[in-house]
């Protein structure tokens, strides 16, 4: 049955999201220091809101790169394979890279992307920051270096995360009951 926005319950409001992302940025600033440039890789399209909000609070010089990947299609469960991708990244030789993703679920997407960057882009160091960690769904051995919130096994929507490509613009995180 099709769902609509009236059935969406608030899980995390906009204020809590902003506060926690600011805190996470402080953790990242502390971990990397403020001198050396950091290349932030945004995983489109879900990470777009988290990425811009996080970047505003980072204190080191930032380079911005974008890739796009999808393992869900229009479903509420992972398809178990990467459905589409566009991985045009430059050579990142000697650079510190931080991949920024909306949510890690089975880990398939990020396992694939991080291995791709490590094998093809010659980065010095590749780390991972996620807005949500759905630990209970993990199938690949991958742990984020920075994570804002844990979430249990529900399908969440808003702040970049979609339901059938809709609702990415919401400034809060909701779920359908």
Q: Where on the chain is the footprint of ligand 5GP (CB under 6 A)?
A: 46, 71-72, 78, 101-109, 134, 155-157, 161-162
CA 5/CA 26 separation, integer angstroms = 33
> C-beta of 36: minimal distance to ligand 5GP in Å?
28
> C-beta of 95: minimal distance to ligand 5GP in Å?
23
Of 97 and 99, CB closest to ligand 5GP: 99
Q: Is 47 exposed, middle or buried (0-12, 13-18, 19+ CB in 10 A)?
A: buried
Q: Would residue 105 show up in a list of annotated catalytic residues for this protein?
A: yes
C-alpha dist (Å) from residue 105 to 98, 124, 172: 18, 26, 19
Which one is catalytic: 7, 102, 105, 125? 105
> C-beta of 174: minimal distance to ligand 5GP in Å?
10
Backbone dihedral angles phi then psi of residue 48, each to the nearest 5 degrees = -60, -40
Where is 116: in which H helix or E strand?
helix 108-120
Of 127 and 134, CB closest to ligand 5GP: 134
> C-beta of 115: minimal distance to ligand 5GP in Å?
13
Of 113 and 123, CB closest to ligand 5GP: 113
Whether omega before 16 lies within 30 degrees of 0, making that bond cis, reads no
**Bridge partner residues of 85 (DSSP):** 69
Locate 133 and state its tokens.
Answer: 């960690």
Of 60 and 89, CB closest to ligand 5GP: 89
Instruction: Show which residues are catalytic.
Output: 105
């Amino acid at each position: 049955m099709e769902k609509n926005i009236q059935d969406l319950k608030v899980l995390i409001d906009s204020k809590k999201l902003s506060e926690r992302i600011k805190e996470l940025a402080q953790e990242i600033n502390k971990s990397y220091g403020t001198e050396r440039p950091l290349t932030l890789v945004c995983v489109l399209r879900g990470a777009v809101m988290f990425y811009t909000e996080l970047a505003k609070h980072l204190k080191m010089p930032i380079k911005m790169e974008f890739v796009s990947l999808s393992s869900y299609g229009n479903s509420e469960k992972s398809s178990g394979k990467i459905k589409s991708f566009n991985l045009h990244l430059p050579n990142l030789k000697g650079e510190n890279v931080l991949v920024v993703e909306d949510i890690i679920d089975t880990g398939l997407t990020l396992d694939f992307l991080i291995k791709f960057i490590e094998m093809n882009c010659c980065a010095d160091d590749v780390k991972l920051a996620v807005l949500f960690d759905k630990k209970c769904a993990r199938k690949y051995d991958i742990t984020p270096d920075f994570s804002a919130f844990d979430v249990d096994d529900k399908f969440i929507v808003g702040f970049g995360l979609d339901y059938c490509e809709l609702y990415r613009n919401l400034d809060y995180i909701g779920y359908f009951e």
